Chain A
Amino acid sequence: MTTTTAAPIRVKEAGYVSPRRQRVMGIVFLALATMIWAFFSRTTTGQMVTTFVMSPGGAVATPDLVFKTLPFLNVLATISAVIGAYQLVRGFHGRTNTMLGILAGFFVIAFLAWGAADKSLNLAGLLKVAVVRAVPLTLGALSGILCERSGIINIGIEGMLLAAAFTSTVAASLSNLWVGLIVAILTGALFGWVLAVFSIRYKVNQIISGTVINIFATGMTSFLSAKFLQKYQNLNSPGQFPTWEIPGLSKIPFFGPILFSHNLFVYGVFILLIVLTIALFHTKWGLRLRSAGEHPKAADTLGINVNRTRYMATILGGMIAGFGGAYFTLGSVGRFDEVMTAGRGFIGLAAMIFGNWMPTGALGAGLLFGLADSLAGKLTILRIPIPPKFLEMAPYIVTMIVLAGVVGHTSPPAAEGTPYEKE
């Protein structure tokens, strides 16, 4: 039994939703509507007023958004209920996931409106922080997508982020920020190459290859940091990339400051997202890469060098992780601390799965997880009686639910995790 041939061939018809899934989703939609009504509407009185501050303190002053809480919540609950009923009776078919996204958005907005009842919440600031927090998660996810689409499971994203964060700090401290950035990307490439060598040449179980990278990167960076960075502080002062306001775009009311007043890394995510989407799904290169991950034997028959494709994808994926690693130091705090990535690489992995191995999905998941992260900091200020730690757990729980196929259906590349051997 070779796994390559035994892998079930899944025929995916565009927009097909099984009757069972249609019903489940309808119930989920109705549950969301009921929750908005039960948790939020019923605990709100008619006089309550929600205030959203709409400018994060940028140059453009957008007037605050003030509205009555109760009617707003009721409208959201009603729309959600109607959508749920329609899903149960007729079904949205191909647009089911879109509707799920919209309803999840409604739920978050309802939650915020409820939390900010008779208080004021800086919505623009919240979203701006969410965008920043999404950066390392999305980059980690994009790195994972590139590797896994070619058939190599990359569980070492965390280690790659950490290693690149370290090398970029030292390099940038010794010369300048741009050198630091390049060194970070090269570090990522090196680790990607190591992952590929282990997984392809030595056919090591890919989970173990990734674990080796994680243990090694954690050990090495902590070792070098304890040995040198604490003694020679000048090696740990890389500085930070400045904020670049994009002329014109950053002047858009509300959205401008949230999306277009950041440093290089946020724009890097946008650019990578576009480039990867086009490259993976609209070029010959991408088709070949994906075929190596879905059905390497077929790809080989058609003259694609499977292992070379995988090497390339893994190294490129490592480079993206390296770029993401530099964010922690050069794009965020401007210094290296031991184990500073704190599991972001693993949330990136979760974002990849949540986004169903699609770049746009990864960004969406990254933003959602980033929002959860950013909101966790606001809960105590808003006096919402949910422990912030529970909100921080949300990304992991949501990923497990998605993975179990209860809400959505994920489809990982069919041949990921199995080494390819020519017969």
Chain B
Amino acid sequence: MTDNKEMTPPPADNSVKPEKAAKPNALNIFLEEVSRNSLTVTILAILTGLLLGGLVAVLTTETVYSSFRTSFGLGFREVFRVFGITYSALFTGSFGQPDVIRAAIASRDWQQINTALSPFFESLVQSTPYILAGLAVALGFRVGLFNIGAEGQIFVGALAAVWAGTRIHGLPPIIHAPLALLVGGLGGAIWGFIPGWLKAKTGAHEVINTIMMNYIAFRLSEYLLTGFLKDPTKAHPISATVDTAAWLPRLFPNPNRFHVGFFIALIMAYLVYLLLFKTTLGFQLRTVGLNPNAARYAGMSIVKNTVLAMALSGLLAGLAGANEVLGVNRNLGVAFSSGYGFDSIALALLGNSHPLGVVLASLLFGFLRNGALRMQLQAGIPIDIISIMQAAILAFIAAPGIIRTIYRLKEPKEESGSPLLTAARKGQAQ
């Protein structure tokens, strides 16, 4: 159990410690540093998770077994072929095919370049909701709150944005789109506020309440999409298309779906960074997260900070939903659920609850998700493989001991644990 003796939160990120070069045994010192570094563990965790995904793909391919039955060498060749096709499809699906890109650039045809590069931009599109949802969970972690309800907040955000996009008419795009985005964010904020308020006032655990709010959101969306928000001209439950004025503008012609939402997500990440690390409020939030007792003695309001953190967290998740609706789908169906909310827990952990880390982790997941789509088409590997990879990465990040055991890494100098995730607040919030 970590002791939180210090009043001030620790420095923002645990970046790479400076290498001590110009020593006689520089290499040894470097290796020593690297093997104790938590960034090393993070990278190894990602690589191991990706490798495990490939392994699952190989183990579930029938030709591998039939080849092994013929001969050992043939079997091995088949194993490498499946590995190769898996990762090359993952790569070309997320970045684009190098030869196609080269040919397109050589042709100097704008449309061709656009098409060739669209997989790369599509990956950024896929990363956008991840960034926002990951920030939502990360913000909660920093305040010692476990927002497991990002999924529901995304849904409510999407519902609210669709309402603003389909029920408000006649506004110019410069007002309508931001308004719809904001309404979506507010929807999410309400969904986060309720568990936050319950936590602050009654001590009811936010994990359970956010889960309950998830399912209330699902049922609510099913209700609204079969009634109030349903497109009357369609047979199946789907909302009408959002007014063009409320669309988040796309920057390139079809098939490239890259839209300004990506930049909004980056701006939000920067704002969260400023809020957490450059303002008094952020200092309060982090102190409440790290040591609520110290925060209380220092005169900070636990209630205010808890409620505010959950509402802000919900706001970010709501923006993720609104962003998807206004930028990508432009309508909302019951099958909107995407697992972003649960993946975002992995993102926040992977990014060490730091906005920059979350953005990087989200890019990784976005590229993986987009690449997996191609993997499904090209290699016949179901897209759910990325859930397996993500679960593995999450497990390794959460339990660095596993990675340290596999790769024989040395223990870190002091058992740091993850102060963000210890149950420091348990039992005192009442």
Interface residues in chain A, defined as those with a beta carbon under 8 Å from any beta carbon in chain B: 1-4, 6-8, 155, 198, 201-205, 207-209, 211-212, 214-216, 218-220, 222-224, 226-228, 343, 346-347, 349-350, 353, 387, 389-390, 392-393, 396-397, 399-400, 403-406, 414, 417-419, 421
Contacts and interface: CB of A to CB of B under 8 A. Distances in A.
A350 B426 contact: no
Contacts of B418: 205
Contacts of B394: 208, 211-212, 215
Contacts of B426: 3, 7, 417-418
B300 interface: no
A400 B198 contact: yes
Q: Name A's interface SS.
A: helix
A396 B216 CA distance: 7
Given A215-B342, A346-B211, A396-B213, 5 more contacts: A3-B1, A155-B148, A155-B207, A219-B388, A346-B212
A405 B202 contact: yes
A218 B211 contact: no
Contacts of A204: 395, 398-399
Given A219-B390, A405-B204, A400 B209 contact: yes
B385 A212 contact: no
A222 to B, nearest CB: 4
Interface of B: 1, 3-4, 56, 60, 146, 148, 198, 201-205, 207-209, 211-216, 218-220, 222-223, 227, 293, 339, 342-343, 345-346, 349, 381-382, 384-388, 390-392, 394-395, 398-399, 401-402, 417-418, 421-424, 426-428, 430
Given A215-B346, A400-B198, A3 B424 contact: yes
Contact of B222 (A346, A389, A399): A389
Contacts of B381: 227
Contact of B398 (A212, A219, A400, A421): A212
A212 B208 contact: no
28 contacts: A3-B1, A3-B426, A155-B207, A198-B399, A201-B401, A205-B421, A205-B422, A208-B345, A208-B394, A211-B346, A215-B390, A215-B391, A218-B384, A223-B384, A223-B388, A227-B60, A346-B211, A346-B212, A346-B215, A387-B227, A393-B219, A393-B220, A397-B216, A400-B198, A403-B205, A404-B198, A418-B1, A418-B426
Nearest to B395: A212
Nearest to A7: B427
A126 to B, nearest CB: 20
B424 A399 contact: no
Contact of A208 (B4, B349, B382): B349
A392 to B, nearest CB: 5
Contacts of B339: 215, 218
Which of B4, B207, B395 neighbours the largest number of chain A CB atoms within 10 Å of its CB? B395
A335 B346 CA distance: 31
B223 A390 contact: yes
A417 B391 contact: no
Contacts of A155: 148, 207, 211
Contact of A223 (B3, B216, B387, B428): B387
Nearest to A153: B207
Contacts of B398: 198, 202, 204-205, 208-209, 212
B46 to A, nearest CB: 15
Nearest to A222: B384
Nearest to A387: B223
Contacts of B384: 218-220, 222-223, 226
Contacts of B427: 3, 6-8, 414
A129 to B, nearest CB: 19
A1 B293 CA distance: 10
Contacts of B209: 400, 403
A414 B198 CA distance: 20
Nearest to B294: A1
B389 to A, nearest CB: 8
Which of B212, B392, B401 neighbours the largest number of chain A CB atoms within 10 Å of its CB? B212
A392 B402 CA distance: 41
A343 B223 contact: no
A404 B220 contact: no
Nearest to A221: B384
A233 B96 CA distance: 36
Contacts of A6: 427-428
A218 B387 contact: yes
B200 to A, nearest CB: 11
Contacts of A212: 391, 394-395, 398
A167 to B, nearest CB: 15
A392 B385 contact: no
Nearest to A412: B205
B211 A223 contact: no
Contact of A207 (B148, B198, B219): B148
Contacts of B422: 3, 205
A8 B429 CA distance: 11
Nearest to B399: A202
Contacts of A350: 208, 211-212
A1 B291 CA distance: 10
A419 B426 CA distance: 13
Contacts of B388: 216, 219-220, 223
Contacts of A208: 345, 349, 394, 398, 421
Contacts of A418: 1, 423, 426
A223 B382 contact: yes
Contact of B391 (A4, A216, A353, A400): A216
Report the 7 A-B pairs with minimum CB-CB distance, sorted nearest first: A219-B387, A216-B391, A226-B382, A202-B399, A389-B223, A223-B384, A222-B384
A343 B342 CA distance: 13
A414 to B, nearest CB: 7
B214 to A, nearest CB: 8
Contact of A417 (B220, B382, B423): B423
A349 B210 CA distance: 13
Contacts of A419: 1
A202 B395 CA distance: 10
Contact of A349 (B208, B219, B385, B430): B208
A203 B400 CA distance: 10
B385 A404 contact: no
Contacts of B216: 393, 396-397
Given A215-B346, A220-B388, A397-B216, A228 B60 contact: yes
Nearest to A399: B212
A117 to B, nearest CB: 25
A214 B219 contact: no
A21 B401 CA distance: 47
Contacts of A220: 56, 384, 387-388
Contacts of A403: 198, 202, 204-205, 208-209
A349 B387 CA distance: 23
A222 B381 CA distance: 11
Given A3-B424, A227-B60, A421-B1, A399 B391 contact: no
